[in-house]
């Protein structure tokens, strides 16, 4: 604050140095030997000869001097001069004199503790809340319009956060830089959450017993079907190609090659998961073996990457079929829990997700597997045909017939070249399918997956590479 004239002096009471009187009315005022300048005479209590003097009439203040109305003598005694400071303003408080009752609620860095909470509520800045989740989990909604430095403190009253979590509802602001709600999941956890700015939003600024992190992401299960691209068929005396690897976690449906259904993934809110959809092997138009398909996968922080291996190429002239998710015709080997082997001779069928090449007859591709992960049963992962008679022999589930390509986004193997057209059949591209509770679906994707619902679940079908943010 600006002042006209002398700025008020504020502070504790000051007892000035003793003064020896003489035959004069004017005396210097010292505090610790240093000149002292009281604001006015009214700020001073002066005792002379044991009598308190009246300010302005018995004495006045001029700078760092006191001027008495009458000259004193050496026999007079100035008992003390006590300066009060600026009594019209709040000065510097003495140590230990401020109580919490004197402070406004919500002052940055100060917490006013509330009663124990047992159901969901909206928190206010500057308050601490013991939260008792013994009976049930509940949600704490953070303030909607926080200011920088606002704080909320939450603690586990009964040591039950691990069983019944606290959900932090962000209320349109970010939490630790993300746009997802968070969880408190550690028993006896206590965390101070501070609003930093619009970029990071609410951030855990201190905590106790928080484990690996003081604010945890919300997690949920997501099922998957990951099928790699199928291989392409061989050219001239060639064989059918193997289907792409087939991995499935939905319901009790099996994976390829006779493998069991896999465990579902655990997704975390705010984490980006990369979806890779493998292309099918390119067709060949000259005397050679075919090409292997490309891998499909799901990867991201906190999960074990799910990779399905591209289908094995179709061979030519005997044992030169490619190994892959399912093996190509001509002794190609499948991958455990992903696909079956291809047939073992010239002109044989490629392996499929559900059976080996040649199971249904010489040159027939192995059949694929059906899955209802999208809400209806669809068969994918058929092997490509070898020498099974022109235009036939592809395994069910997208396998290419002799002389034809596999069906796109089934991971089917391509059929061998048989004089139909100018090349062998190309492999079918793969597909990645995710199924999760609609209540947890974030709606944040890339790669333009097809989105649908079935019951209480949302299904994402990726026919091309992209991503999903939990």
Q: Residue 185 has what pLDDT? A: 87
Same domain, 307 and 346: yes
| DSSP labels, 24-50 | -SEEE-EETTEE---S-GGGEEEEETT
Where a domain ends, among 188, 217, 246?
Answer: 217
Do residue 291 and residue 416 come from a single domain?
yes
The tens-digit pLDDT sequence of the chain (470 residues) is 555 655 555 556 889 999 999 999 999 999 999 999 998 999 899 999 999 999 999 999 999 999 999 999 999 999 999 998 655 545 566 666 666 556 555 455 578 999 999 999 999 999 999 999 999 999 999 999 999 999 999 999 999 998 999 999 999 999 988 888 998 988 988 999 999 999 999 998 877 665 445 577 888 999 999 999 999 999 988 999 999 999 999 999 999 999 999 999 999 988 999 999 999 999 999 999 999 999 999 999 999 999 999 999 999 987 899 999 999 999 999 999 999 999 997 899 999 999 999 999 999 999 999 999 999 999 999 999 999 877 899 999 999 999 999 999 999 999 999 888 899 999 999 999 999 999 999 999 999 999 999 999 999 999 999 999 99
Position 93 in a domain: no
The answer to whether residues 57 and 129 belong to one domain is no
> Is 5 part of a structural domain of the chain?
no
Q: 121 in a domain, yes or no?
A: yes
Burial of 377 (0-12, 13-18, 19+ CB in 10 A): exposed
282 and 410 fall within a common domain: yes
123 and 269 in a common domain: no
Question: End-to-end distance of the chain based on CA atoms, in angstroms?
Answer: 52
- Read off the pTM: 0.67
- CA triple 145-148-151, angle to 5 deg: 80
Asked if residue 116 lies in contact with residue 132, where contact means CB atoms within 8 angstroms, the answer is yes
Domain count, the chain: 3
Q: Are residues 308 and 199 in the same domain?
A: no
Task: Indicate if 281 and 153 belong to the same structural domain.
Answer: no
Candidates 406, 371, 158, 99; CA nearest to 252 is 371
20 within domain boundaries: yes
Please report the pLDDT score of residue 346 as a whole number.
Answer: 80
Q: Say whether both 345 and 429 belong to one domain.
A: yes
pLDDT at 178: 87
Residue 90 placed within a domain:
no
| Coil, helix or strand at residue 130 | strand
89 belongs to a structural domain? no
Residue that terminates a domain, selected from 199, 217, 235: 217
Among the candidates 217, 245, 261, a domain finishes at 217
pLDDT score recorded for residue 90: 52
Same domain assignment for residues 357 and 302 = yes
Domain contains 88: no
200 domain residue, yes or no? yes
Residue 195 near residue 201 (C-beta atoms within 8 A): yes
The residue range of the domain holding 120 is 105-217
pLDDT at 266: 96
CA distance 387 to 349: 8
**Which CATH number is 166's domain given?**
2.60.120.640
Tokens (6 digits) for 312: 């094995």
Q: Which residues pair with 139 in a beta bridge?
A: 167
Backbone dihedral angles phi then psi of residue 359, each to the nearest 5 degrees: -60, -40
Residues 282 and 301 in one domain: yes
295 and 424 housed in the same domain: yes
With tokens 């709040």, the residue in question is 90
In the block, which residue shows the tokens 């596999």? 406
Predicted local distance difference test score (pLDDT) of residue 383 = 98
Q: How much is the pLDDT for 217?
A: 80
Tell me what pLDDT residue 256 has: 98
* pLDDT confidence of residue 318: 74
Whether 195 and 259 share a structural domain: no
pLDDT at 102: 62
pLDDT at residue 87 in the model: 54
């Amino acid at each position: 604050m600006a002042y006209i004239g002398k700025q008020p002096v504020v502070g504790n009471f000051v007892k000035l140095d003793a003064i020896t009187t003489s035959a004069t009315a004017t005396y210097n005022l010292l505090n610790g030997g240093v000149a002292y300048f009281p604001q006015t005479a009214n700020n001073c209590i002066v005792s002379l000869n044991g009598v308190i003097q009246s300010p302005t009439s018995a004495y006045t203040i001029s700078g760092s001097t006191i001027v008495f109305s009458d000259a004193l003598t050496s026999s007079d005694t100035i008992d003390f001069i006590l300066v009060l400071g600026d009594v019209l303003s709040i000065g510097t408080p003495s140590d230990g004199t401020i109580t919490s009752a004197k402070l406004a609620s919500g002052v940055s860095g100060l917490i006013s503790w509330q009663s124990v909470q047992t159901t969901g509520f909206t928190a206010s800045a500057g308050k601490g809340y013991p939260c008792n989740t013994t009976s049930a989990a509940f949600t704490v909604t953070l303030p909607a319009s926080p200011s920088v430095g606002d704080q909320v403190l939450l603690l586990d009253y009964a040591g039950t956060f691990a069983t019944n979590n606290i959900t932090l509802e962000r209320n349109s602001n970010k939490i630790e830089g993300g746009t997802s709600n968070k969880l408190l999941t550690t028993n006896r956890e206590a965390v101070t959450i501070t609003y930093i700015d619009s970029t990071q939003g609410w951030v855990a600024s201190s905590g106790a017993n928080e484990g690996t992190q003081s604010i945890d992401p919300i997690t949920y299960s997501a099922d998957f079907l990951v099928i790699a691209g199928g291989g392409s068929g061989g050219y001239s005396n060639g064989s059918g190609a193997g289907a792409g690897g087939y991995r499935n976690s939905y319901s009790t449906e099996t994976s390829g090659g006779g493998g069991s259904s896999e465990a579902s993934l655990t997704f975390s809110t705010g984490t980006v998961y990369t979806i890779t959809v493998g292309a099918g092997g390119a067709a060949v138009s000259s005397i050679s073996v075919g090409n292997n398909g490309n891998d499909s996968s799901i990867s991201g922080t906190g999960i074990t990457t799910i990779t399905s291996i591209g289908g094995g190429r179709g061979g030519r002239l005997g044992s030169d079929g490619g190994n892959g998710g399912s093996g190509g015709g001509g002794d190609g080997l499948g991958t455990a829990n992903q696909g079956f082997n291809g047939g073992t001779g010239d002109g044989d069928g490629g392996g499929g997700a559900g059976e080996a090449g040649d199971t249904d007859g010489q040159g027939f591709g192995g059949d694929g597997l059906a899955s209802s992960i999208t809400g209806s049963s669809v068969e994918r992962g058929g092997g490509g045909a070898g020498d099974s008679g022109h235009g036939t022999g592809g395994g069910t589930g997208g396998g290419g017939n002799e002389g034809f390509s596999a069906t796109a986004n089934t991971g089917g193997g391509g059929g061998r070249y048989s004089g139909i057209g100018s090349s062998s059949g190309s492999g079918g591209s793969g597909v990645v399918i995710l199924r999760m509770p609609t209540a947890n679906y974030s709606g944040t994707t890339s790669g333009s997956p097809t989105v649908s619902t079935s019951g209480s679940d949302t299904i994402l079908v990726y026919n091309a590479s992209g991503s999903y943010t939990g």
